[in-house]
Amino acid sequence: MGASALEGQAAPGRHPRAAPHAGRTHADASARPTSGKNMSQHNASRNCSFRDVDELMQTVQMAVHIPTFLLGLLLNLLAIRGFSSFLKKRWPDYAATSIYMINLAVFDLLLVLSLPFKMALSHVRPPSSAFCTLVECLYFISMYGSVFTICCISLDRFLAIRYPLLASYLRSPTKTFGTCCIIWLLVWTGSIPVYSFHGKVEYRCFHNMSDGTWSAKVFFPLEVFGFLLPMGIMAFCSSISIHILLGLRDRRYRACIWTIAASLAVFVVSFLPVHLGFFLQFLVRNGFIMECRARQGISLFLQLSMCFSNINCCLDVFCYYFVIKEFRADIVARRLSRVQLVRQDTMITRG
């Protein structure tokens, strides 16, 4: 997601709960009866400026997004090409993992391609509201598509290690491709709330989200099904898989262990701070946090975490590297075993 995509801060000097609804003016919102301490908190909230935060984030976004775009574009194109070659040359031995990795690279590539539009549309008005919504949808789809794909990769590997017979039945290319199609269907369906992000309030893309965006019925399903559940599945599958492989004490599984560990580390580093920031911003937008400095700090934390989470499309290259290394080690081992069998057959024939 964009660095301020769900940050949803109202313009400086505007109360965050007063802006979005059509037909309710700023004066209407401020006319609600308040007294004493509540009145002072309300006025402090209205006068809270985020100009310094926004100016800082403009510089940070340019410094992070430009190299992320260039590097992510190159790395993900190479990843798609590399795993496609495994599909063509060694089908179906590495089909399941290769299909998942290609799917992940496509989602990462989608995020990379959305970054230039996000940087531009965060500062200027879009040519049309439909174009703004499309860019936002593509951005959110790429993020949660990556989350679900990484989760499926972890689950697939766990089944292959813990239940190899069951995995041999479930890991057919057709079923793996069908799983990826389901992921695309889920993230496209889940992007529907994006169309009501801004309501009828004046806005810029990736800014000024409506109150409805931060309602409990939208926020909690996003947090639970979009992050907490996948993270729980990943943590369980990864820990069990690493425990089993370490117990085998075989150096051949070292690349596999590094692949599992790298996937889990990239997932946590990329998405945990972002969803923690979402939760804090949910508290702000629903009136649980009113103090100006706290709101500014939360805004900065959320925007920074979302900005750096975009680097995930480059960090996934570590997963690609260890998977390809694992593939090649397996190929070499198979070739050596075949050579040994040929030598044994030759010796028997000569004998």
Supply the pLDDT for residue 10: 42
DSSP state of 15: -
Q: What is the pLDDT of residues 171-190, one digit of tens each?
A: 888 899 999 999 999 999 88
CA distance 327 to 96: 12
* Alpha-carbon torsion angle 210, 212, 214, 219, nearest 10: -140
Q: Mean pLDDT, to the nearest integer, of 52-74? A: 89
Alpha carbon distance, N-terminus to C-terminus of the chain:
68
Q: What is the pLDDT of residue 34?
A: 43
282, 219 contact by CB (below 8 A) = yes
User: How much of the chain exceeds pLDDT 90, in percent?
Assistant: 35
SS3 content of the chain, % helix, strand, coil (to 5): 80, 0, 20
Please state the pTM of the whole predicted model: 0.79
CATH architecture of 48-350: Up-down Bundle (1.20)
> Running DSSP on this structure, what letter comes out for residue 92?
T
Range list of H helices, 191-253:
216-223, 229-248
- pLDDT single digits (tens) 245-263: 998 887 778 878 888 998 8
Instruction: Give the separation between CA 159 and CA 150, rounded to whole angstroms.
Output: 14
Residue 2 has pLDDT above 80, yes or no: no
DSSP 227: I
Distance between CA atoms of residues 11 and 26, nearest Å: 12
**Across 151-157, average pLDDT:** 92
Angle of the 129-162 helix axis to the 173-190 helix axis, nearest 10? 140
pLDDT value at position 337? Answer: 53
Per-residue pLDDT at 308 exceeds 70: yes
Residues contacting residue 315 through CB under 8 Å, at least 6 positions apart? 266, 269, 270
Question: Picking from 7-16, 32-41, 153-162, 180-189, which range would have the lowest pLDDT averaged per residue?
Answer: 7-16
Confidence band (pLDDT; 50, 70, 90) for 284?
Answer: very high
Domain assignments of the chain as residue spans, ordered by start: 48-350
d(CA 322, CA 263): 10
113-125 residue pLDDT tens: 989 888 887 777 7
pLDDT, tens only, 191-228: 877 666 655 555 667 666 666 778 888 889 889 999 99
